[in-house]
């Protein structure tokens, strides 16, 4: 069983839609949760991170962590064509720098 599960998509939505991206995980030691965005032929770029449970908002993006359910989400409001990319969740525990990634969800926002 993978430590992190993520639906690979693709997810296709119209411009302006609210997008929900999700990951589940099995390792209860994970404390730090991140979302990376990766454009085609580029490296992953950190979008948001949260520590333990709770919500964090940054502009059109909101990250949520529910440790009791081992479930994390990224919401994108008012999605734009420029948001079209692969979104990767990643997580790690306190005493390591090793990031554990999901497989990524490919998102396409069409005008």
Partner 1 sequence: EAGVTQFPSHSVIEKGQTVTLRCDPISGHDNLYWYRRVMGKEIKFLLHFVKESKQDESGMPNNRFLAERTGGTYSTLKVQPAELEDSGVYFCASSPDRVLPTDTQYFGPGTRLTVL
Residue whose CB is less far from partner 1, 33 or 83: 33
Q: Which of 42, 54, 78, 110 binds partner 1 (CB under 8 A)?
A: 42
Q: Which of 75, 103, 106, 108 binds partner 1 (CB under 8 A)?
A: 103
Which residues, 62 to 101, sit near partner 1 by CB under 8 A? 88, 90, 92-94, 96-101
Residue whose CB is less far from partner 1, 40 or 111: 40
On the CB side of 15, CA atoms within 13 Å amount to 5
Q: Where does this chain bind partner 1 (CB under 8 A)?
A: 2, 4, 6, 31-32, 34, 36, 41-46, 49, 51, 88, 90, 92-94, 96-104
């Amino acid at each position: 069983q993978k430590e992190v599960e993520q639906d690979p998509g693709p997810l296709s939505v119209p411009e302006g839609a609210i997008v929900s991206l999700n990951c589940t995980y099995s390792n209860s030691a994970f404390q730090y949760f991140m979302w990376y965005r990766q454009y085609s032929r580029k490296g992953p770029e950190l979008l948001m991170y949260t520590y333990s449970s709770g919500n964090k908002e940054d502009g059109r993006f909101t990250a949520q962590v529910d440790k009791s359910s081992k479930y994390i989400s990224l919401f994108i409001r008012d999605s734009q064509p420029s948001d079209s990319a692969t979104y990767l969740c990643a997580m790690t525990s306190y005493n390591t720098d090793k990031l554990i990634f999901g497989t990524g969800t490919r998102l396409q926002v069409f005008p």
